[in-house]
Structure 1
C-alpha cells in the first residue's frame, strides 16, 4: 500500500507525444490526449489515411501522411509488433559513433 502525501500509484500517461518528420526536412510535434495504448489502437488507421487532422487551441493542422518519412512516439508503444519491428533497439548518436574504438570504448 502506498502512503504519504507525495506517494502515488503509477498510472499510464494520458498524453502521447507524436513527432512527424517530413520529406523536406521539417518536423512537427503534437501532444495527443490519448494514452499510448489508445494511440496504438488508432495507429494503423492513421498510417493508412491520406491526411491526419489535429485540432489545436488556436488552429487546425492537417498533415499529409504521404509526405512523412519518420514518426517518433513518446512514450514508446512497445506492444506494437508488426513485420519489421526491432525490440530493444538503441539509437546511436554521432558522438557514440565517433568514439568507437577510442577512449577504451569497445562495441
Structure 2
C-alpha cells in the first residue's frame, strides 16, 4: 500500500482493468481490486454466472452476462493458455462502429 495525497491506495499491480462490451454497442470499464493472475483464475467462473455484481465505493453495478459480447482485460493475462487461445497477436485495426453504407 502506498500513500497518495493522504489517501491509502493499493499498488497498481493489484488491480485489473476490465472493459465490458455489450450487445447494444455500449462499453464500460472497471478497475477490479485483484491481480491479473487471480482474475484469470476466476474469469470462466465469472462469465458462467447469470449476473456479475460489482460493488463500487458509491453504488453497486449488476451486469447481465448474457448481454456481454466481448471482455477486454489489462494488463494482459498470459496465464490463459490452451485450446482457443492465440498468443503473440497484434491488433491491426480498431473495432469500428457506424452506419452501414
Describe the SS at the equivalent of 2:81. Answer: coil
What is the TM-score when the length of structure 2 is the normalising length?
Answer: 0.78
TM superposition shift of 1:79 = 1.1
Which one has the largest radius of gyration?
1
1:5-51 Cα deviation digits (max 9, x unpaired): xxxxxx98100000000000001100000000111111110011011
Pairwise CA RMSD of aligned residues? 1.6
1:34 aligns with 2:58: no
Which residue matches 1:86?
86
Describe the SS at the equivalent of 2:82. Answer: coil
Which residue matches 2:13?
13
| Cα separation, partners in 2 of 1:59 and 1:76, compared to 1, 3 Å | same
| Cα separation, partners in 2 of 1:84 and 1:53, compared to 1, 3 Å | same
User: Which segments of structure 1 move beyond 4 Å, counting only runs of 4 or more?
Assistant: none
Which residue matches 1:50?
50
Which residue matches 1:101?
none
1:71 aligns with 2:67: no
The number of residue pairs the alignment matches comes to: 84
More strand by share: 2
Describe the SS at the equivalent of 2:14. Answer: coil
Describe the SS at the equivalent of 1:53. Answer: strand
